[in-house]
Amino acid sequence: MKKILVTGAAGFLGSHLCDRLIEQGHRVVGLDSFFTGSEKNVAGLKKHANFKLIKHDVVDPLAAQDLDEIYNLACPASPVHYQYDPIHTMKTSVLGALNMLELARATGAKVFQASTSEVYGDPSVHPQPEEYWGNVNTIGIRSCYDEGKRAAETLFFDYQRMHKVQIKVVRIFNTYGPRMAANDGRVVSNFIVQALRGEDLTIYGDGSQTRSFCYADDLVEGFLRLMNSHDTITGPINLGNPGEFTMIELAEKVLRLTGSNSKLIHMPLPQDDPKQRRPDISKAKQYLDWEPAVPLEEGLKRTIAYFKEALAG
C-alpha cells in the first residue's frame, strides 16, 4: 500500500485517478481548491477509509508529510475556466508545480506532472511528437495555460537535474468522459449538452479543424503505467488517441447518438485555436505498452448516458 497525494482530486480526471488508486488498495489524500472541481465527483470516495479530501490551493505550500507518490493535476483545463482568472491560472501551474516539487524533494516521493498538448500551440508539425518544440503565442488569451504548463515542465526537469527528484511528465491530448462539467466549454461536453437540450450545436470556424479524443479511463491507465515505469522513463510522453476527427464529424456523431434534431451553427474561430491536433504516441507504445482501447463511438455513448442523468438531476 502506498500513500499518494493527488492535486485536483475533485476534478474530472483527478476523481477518475483517485477511483483507480483506491481500487488498487492505496491510501489517497486528495487536494482541491474547488474552483472547477466538485465534491460530487468524489462523493463515493469520501466514505472510503483510505481516502481523505482536503480543501487546499496548490498556489500555497503544503506541509511536508509521509508520501510515496504525488500526482499534480491541479489546474483549470478548459478555456472558459482558465481564462476567467489568467493570472491565477499561471500561478496554479507554476507555483503549484514548484510547491509539489519541493514537497517531493522533502519527502523523497516520486512526482507526476499532468502537462498538456497545448504546449505545442497551433502546431506546424503533424502529428506532434514529444521532440517538437511547438508553435506558440506567448502573449495571447490562451497563454496563461500554455505557458504555465511549459514553465511547469521546465521546473520538473530542472528539479530532476539539480535535486535528483524522481519525475514523470505526460502531455495530455483532448480527453472526455463522465464527470466533465456541463459548462466547461470543451467541445465534447458542449456538443452533448446542446444536443440533449435541443439547442443548436456551436461550431467555431468552418468545422474543419481536427482533434483527437481520448476516453478518461484510457488516459488514467496511461498515468498509472508511467508512474509505475522504470525511473529512467521520465517523459514527457504524449497520452492521447491518435484517431483524428473534424469538428463537423464529431458534431454529426453526437447528433446521431443522441437522436437530436439540433442544427449546426457557425461562430468565429477563437484566437490561437489550433487547426490540427493529433498525438504521436510511439513513445507511449514503446515504453508503457499503452494505447487507447475505447473507440470514440463507445466513449461518446458512455458520456452521453452520464450527461442525460446529470441534466435530469
Per-residue model confidence as pLDDT tens digits over 64-100: 889 999 999 999 887 777 788 999 999 999 999 999 9
Helix/strand/coil (H/E/C) assignment for every residue in 120-182: HECCCCCCECCCCCCECCCCCCCHHHHHHHHHHHHHHHHHHHHHCCCEEEEEECCEECCCCCC
Residues of the chain with pLDDT under 70: 272
**Cell, residue 91:** 500561478
Q: How many CB atoms lie within 10 A of CB 59?
A: 16
Per-residue model confidence as pLDDT tens digits over 250-290: 999 999 999 999 999 998 877 767 788 899 999 999 999 99
pTM for this prediction:
0.95
Strand 210-211 with 245-246, pairing? antiparallel
- Is 145 known to be catalytic? yes
User: Please, what's the largest Cα pairwise distance for the chain?
Assistant: 58
What gap in Å lies between CA 237 and CA 119, rounded to an integer? 12
The CA distances from residue 132 to 119, 126, 226, 227, 280, in Å, are: 10, 10, 20, 23, 10
Nearest to 217 by CA among 284, 290, 271: 290
What gap in Å lies between CA 113 and CA 75, rounded to an integer? 11
Can you give the length of the chain in residues?
A: 313
To which residue does cell 494505447 refer?
A: 291
Structural fold of domain 3-176+215-241+278-293: Rossmann fold (3.40.50)
Options 71, 82, 120, 145, the catalytic residue: 145
Nearest to 219 by CA among 14, 35, 10, 46: 14
Confidence (pLDDT) at 253:
96
